[in-house]
Protein backbone atom coordinates (compact mmCIF):
# COMPACT_ATOMS: atom_id res chain seq x y z
CA UNK A 1 0.00 0.00 0.00
CA UNK A 2 1.38 3.33 -0.99
CA UNK A 3 1.77 6.24 1.36
CA UNK A 4 3.65 9.50 1.05
CA UNK A 5 6.58 8.50 3.19
CA UNK A 6 4.14 7.02 5.65
CA UNK A 7 3.90 3.76 7.49
CA UNK A 8 1.63 1.18 5.93
CA UNK A 9 0.19 -1.25 8.42
CA UNK A 10 0.93 -4.46 6.75
CA UNK A 11 -2.36 -5.80 5.50
CA UNK A 12 -1.70 -9.02 7.28
CA UNK A 13 -5.31 -9.96 7.73
CA UNK A 14 -4.89 -13.67 7.67
CA UNK A 15 -7.43 -16.34 6.87
CA UNK A 16 -7.52 -18.63 9.88
CA UNK A 17 -9.18 -21.92 10.49
CA UNK A 18 -8.71 -24.43 13.31
CA UNK A 19 -12.02 -26.30 13.21
CA UNK A 20 -11.90 -27.63 9.64
CA UNK A 21 -9.33 -29.91 8.00
CA UNK A 22 -7.86 -27.45 5.51
CA UNK A 23 -4.23 -26.40 5.45
CA UNK A 24 -4.31 -24.00 2.52
CA UNK A 25 -6.59 -21.33 1.11
CA UNK A 26 -7.42 -23.51 -1.90
CA UNK A 27 -8.32 -26.47 0.35
CA UNK A 28 -10.47 -24.22 2.53
CA UNK A 29 -12.36 -22.86 -0.48
CA UNK A 30 -13.02 -26.40 -1.74
CA UNK A 31 -14.27 -27.42 1.70
CA UNK A 32 -16.56 -24.39 1.99
CA UNK A 33 -18.02 -25.02 -1.47
CA UNK A 34 -18.73 -28.62 -0.50
CA UNK A 35 -20.64 -27.41 2.59
CA UNK A 36 -22.53 -24.27 1.49
CA UNK A 37 -23.95 -22.29 4.39
CA UNK A 38 -22.45 -24.52 7.07
CA UNK A 39 -19.31 -22.56 7.94
CA UNK A 40 -19.33 -19.39 10.05
CA UNK A 41 -16.80 -16.58 10.15
CA UNK A 42 -16.08 -14.01 12.84
CA UNK A 43 -15.44 -10.30 12.54
CA UNK A 44 -14.76 -7.52 15.00
CA UNK A 45 -18.13 -6.01 14.11
CA UNK A 46 -20.42 -5.28 11.19
CA UNK A 47 -18.69 -2.98 8.72
CA UNK A 48 -15.25 -3.48 10.28
CA UNK A 49 -12.23 -4.08 8.04
CA UNK A 50 -12.25 -7.83 8.62
CA UNK A 51 -15.96 -8.05 7.84
CA UNK A 52 -15.64 -6.16 4.56
CA UNK A 53 -12.56 -8.18 3.61
CA UNK A 54 -14.42 -11.40 4.31
CA UNK A 55 -17.33 -10.27 2.13
CA UNK A 56 -14.89 -9.59 -0.69
CA UNK A 57 -13.16 -12.93 -0.13
CA UNK A 58 -16.47 -14.78 -0.13
CA UNK A 59 -17.69 -13.10 -3.32
CA UNK A 60 -14.41 -13.65 -5.16
CA UNK A 61 -14.26 -17.34 -4.27
CA UNK A 62 -17.97 -18.08 -4.61
CA UNK A 63 -18.37 -19.60 -1.16
CA UNK A 64 -21.48 -19.29 1.01
CA UNK A 65 -20.67 -18.72 4.69
CA UNK A 66 -22.39 -17.00 7.62
CA UNK A 67 -21.17 -13.82 9.29
CA UNK A 68 -21.03 -13.68 13.10
CA UNK A 69 -20.04 -10.23 14.43
CA UNK A 70 -18.29 -9.82 17.78
CA UNK A 71 -17.46 -6.79 19.88
CA UNK A 72 -13.77 -6.43 19.19
CA UNK A 73 -10.71 -8.41 18.15
CA UNK A 74 -10.27 -10.37 21.38
CA UNK A 75 -13.76 -11.92 21.47
CA UNK A 76 -13.67 -12.65 17.73
CA UNK A 77 -10.34 -14.47 17.86
CA UNK A 78 -11.42 -16.32 21.02
CA UNK A 79 -14.49 -17.54 19.14
CA UNK A 80 -12.28 -19.09 16.46
CA UNK A 81 -9.98 -20.64 19.07
CA UNK A 82 -12.82 -22.44 20.85
CA UNK A 83 -14.50 -23.45 17.59
CA UNK A 84 -17.57 -21.26 17.97
CA UNK A 85 -16.87 -20.11 14.39
CA UNK A 86 -14.58 -21.62 11.81
CA UNK A 87 -12.48 -18.77 10.44
CA UNK A 88 -11.84 -15.04 10.30
CA UNK A 89 -9.57 -12.42 8.79
CA UNK A 90 -7.85 -10.73 11.74
CA UNK A 91 -4.61 -8.77 11.82
CA UNK A 92 -1.70 -11.20 11.87
CA UNK A 93 -0.10 -9.57 14.90
CA UNK A 94 -3.29 -9.97 16.94
CA UNK A 95 -3.49 -13.67 16.19
CA UNK A 96 0.24 -14.37 16.50
CA UNK A 97 0.17 -15.62 20.14
CA UNK A 98 -2.43 -18.25 19.22
CA UNK A 99 -0.50 -19.23 16.10
CA UNK A 100 2.65 -19.80 18.13
CA UNK A 101 0.83 -22.07 20.56
CA UNK A 102 -0.91 -23.97 17.78
CA UNK A 103 -4.40 -22.91 18.85
CA UNK A 104 -4.90 -21.34 15.43
CA UNK A 105 -3.40 -21.99 12.04
CA UNK A 106 -2.81 -19.48 9.28
CA UNK A 107 -3.77 -20.30 5.72
CA UNK A 108 -2.91 -17.12 3.83
CA UNK A 109 -2.10 -13.46 4.25
CA UNK A 110 -3.96 -10.69 2.40
CA UNK A 111 -1.00 -8.52 1.53
CA UNK A 112 0.98 -7.65 -1.56
CA UNK A 113 4.06 -9.30 -0.09
CA UNK A 114 4.65 -12.03 2.45
CA UNK A 115 4.84 -10.96 6.08
CA UNK A 116 8.23 -10.73 7.81
CA UNK A 117 6.46 -12.27 10.80
CA UNK A 118 5.48 -15.35 8.81
CA UNK A 119 7.65 -15.55 5.67
CA UNK A 120 6.52 -19.09 4.87
CA UNK A 121 2.87 -18.05 4.75
CA UNK A 122 1.72 -17.49 1.14
CA UNK A 123 -0.18 -14.40 0.12
CA UNK A 124 -3.79 -14.71 -0.98
CA UNK A 125 -2.67 -13.83 -4.51
CA UNK A 126 -0.24 -16.74 -4.47
CA UNK A 127 -3.18 -18.89 -3.41
CA UNK A 128 -5.24 -17.79 -6.40
CA UNK A 129 -7.40 -15.12 -4.68
CA UNK A 130 -6.93 -11.49 -5.61
CA UNK A 131 -7.34 -10.03 -2.15
CA UNK A 132 -5.20 -7.27 -0.63
CA UNK A 133 -6.47 -5.43 2.41
CA UNK A 134 -5.63 -4.38 5.92
CA UNK A 135 -5.03 -1.33 8.03
CA UNK A 136 -2.84 1.37 6.58
CA UNK A 137 -1.43 4.59 7.95
CA UNK A 138 -0.61 7.77 6.07
CA UNK A 139 0.23 11.40 6.72
CA UNK A 140 -2.34 13.96 5.58
CA UNK A 141 -2.23 17.74 5.47
CA UNK A 142 -5.03 20.33 5.47
CA UNK A 143 -6.57 21.18 2.12
CA UNK A 144 -4.76 24.11 0.55
CA UNK A 145 -1.33 23.27 1.97
CA UNK A 146 1.28 24.46 -0.57
CA UNK A 147 2.69 21.70 -2.76
CA UNK A 148 6.20 22.79 -1.79
CA UNK A 149 5.41 22.05 1.85
CA UNK A 150 3.82 18.70 1.00
CA UNK A 151 6.86 17.77 -1.08
CA UNK A 152 9.21 18.70 1.75
CA UNK A 153 7.25 16.62 4.27
CA UNK A 154 7.16 13.69 1.86
CA UNK A 155 10.95 13.73 1.43
CA UNK A 156 11.69 14.12 5.14
CA UNK A 157 9.24 11.42 6.30
CA UNK A 158 10.46 9.03 3.61
CA UNK A 159 14.08 9.57 4.65
CA UNK A 160 13.18 8.88 8.29
CA UNK A 161 11.28 5.71 7.46
CA UNK A 162 14.21 4.44 5.41
CA UNK A 163 16.54 4.47 8.43
CA UNK A 164 17.50 0.96 9.50
CA UNK A 165 16.51 1.31 13.16
CA UNK A 166 12.98 2.46 12.40
CA UNK A 167 12.56 -0.02 9.56
CA UNK A 168 13.61 -2.92 11.78
CA UNK A 169 11.38 -1.73 14.63
CA UNK A 170 8.32 -1.59 12.40
CA UNK A 171 9.12 -4.94 10.78
CA UNK A 172 9.21 -6.55 14.23
CA UNK A 173 5.63 -5.33 14.69
CA UNK A 174 4.54 -6.86 11.39
CA UNK A 175 4.41 -3.51 9.62
CA UNK A 176 5.78 -3.18 6.09
CA UNK A 177 6.66 0.11 4.49
CA UNK A 178 5.69 1.42 1.11
CA UNK A 179 6.61 4.76 -0.36
CA UNK A 180 4.81 6.97 -2.83
CA UNK A 181 4.56 10.49 -4.14
CA UNK A 182 1.77 12.69 -2.78
CA UNK A 183 -0.20 12.24 -6.02
CA UNK A 184 0.16 8.45 -5.86
CA UNK A 185 -1.15 8.54 -2.31
CA UNK A 186 -4.14 10.66 -3.37
CA UNK A 187 -4.96 8.09 -6.07
CA UNK A 188 -4.61 5.28 -3.55
CA UNK A 189 -7.07 6.90 -1.15
CA UNK A 190 -9.59 7.42 -3.96
CA UNK A 191 -9.21 3.80 -5.04
CA UNK A 192 -9.76 2.60 -1.45
CA UNK A 193 -12.93 4.68 -1.14
CA UNK A 194 -14.26 3.28 -4.42
CA UNK A 195 -13.25 -0.30 -3.65
CA UNK A 196 -14.78 -0.56 -0.20
CA UNK A 197 -17.71 1.65 -1.16
CA UNK A 198 -18.71 -0.95 -3.76
CA UNK A 199 -18.33 -3.77 -1.22
CA UNK A 200 -20.53 -1.93 1.29
CA UNK A 201 -23.15 -1.12 -1.34
CA UNK A 202 -23.24 -4.63 -2.81
CA UNK A 203 -23.55 -6.16 0.68
CA UNK A 204 -26.34 -3.76 1.63
CA UNK A 205 -24.54 -2.58 4.77
CA UNK A 206 -26.00 0.58 6.32
CA UNK A 207 -24.91 2.68 9.33
CA UNK A 208 -26.19 1.39 12.67
DSSP string, 193-207: HHHHHHHHHHHT---
* Predicted pLDDT at 208: 64
Q: Show Cβ contacts of residue 171 under 8 Å, excluding neighbours closer than 6 positions.
A: 116
The fraction of the chain above a pLDDT of 90, given in percent, is 45
pLDDT tens for each residue of 60-83: 999 999 999 999 999 999 998 888
Please state, in angstroms and rounded to a whole number, the distance separating the CA atoms of residues 41 and 64: 11
- In the beta sheet, which residues pair with residue 15? 108
Please state, in angstroms and rounded to a whole number, the distance separating the CA atoms of residues 142 and 66: 41
123, 108 in Cβ contact below 8 A? yes
pLDDT tens for each residue of 124-159: 899 999 888 878 888 999 999 999 999 999 999 999
Which domains are present in the chain? Answer: 13-109 (3.40.190.10)
Q: Exposed/middle/buried for 125, CB within 10 Å: 0-12, 13-18, 19+?
A: middle
The 3-state secondary structure of 56-115 reads HHHHHHCCCCEEEECCCHHHHHHHHHCCCCCEECCEHHHHHHHHHCCCCCEEEECCCCCC
Please state, in angstroms and rounded to a whole number, the distance separating the CA atoms of residues 18 and 101: 12
Residue 200 region by backbone torsions, left for phi larger than 0, else alpha for psi between -120 and 50, else beta: alpha
* Predicted pLDDT at 21: 79
* Predicted pLDDT at 203: 87
CB atoms within 10 A of CB 153: 17
- Model-level pTM? 0.82
Report which DSSP code applies to 121.
Answer: S
Name the more confident of 181 and 171: 181
Please state, in angstroms and rounded to a whole number, the distance separating the CA atoms of residues 169 and 160: 12
With residues binned 3-state (H G I as helix, E B as strand, rest as coil), the percentages for the chain, rounded to 5, are 40, 10, 45
Count CA atoms within 13 Å of residue 82 on its CB side. Answer: 6
Amino acid sequence: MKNPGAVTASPFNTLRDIAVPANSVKAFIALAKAQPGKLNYASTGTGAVGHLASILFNSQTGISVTHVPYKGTGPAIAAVVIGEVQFMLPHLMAAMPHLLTGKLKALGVASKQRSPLAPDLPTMTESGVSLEEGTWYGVLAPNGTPESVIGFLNREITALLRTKDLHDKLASMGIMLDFATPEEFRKFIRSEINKWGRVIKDAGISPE
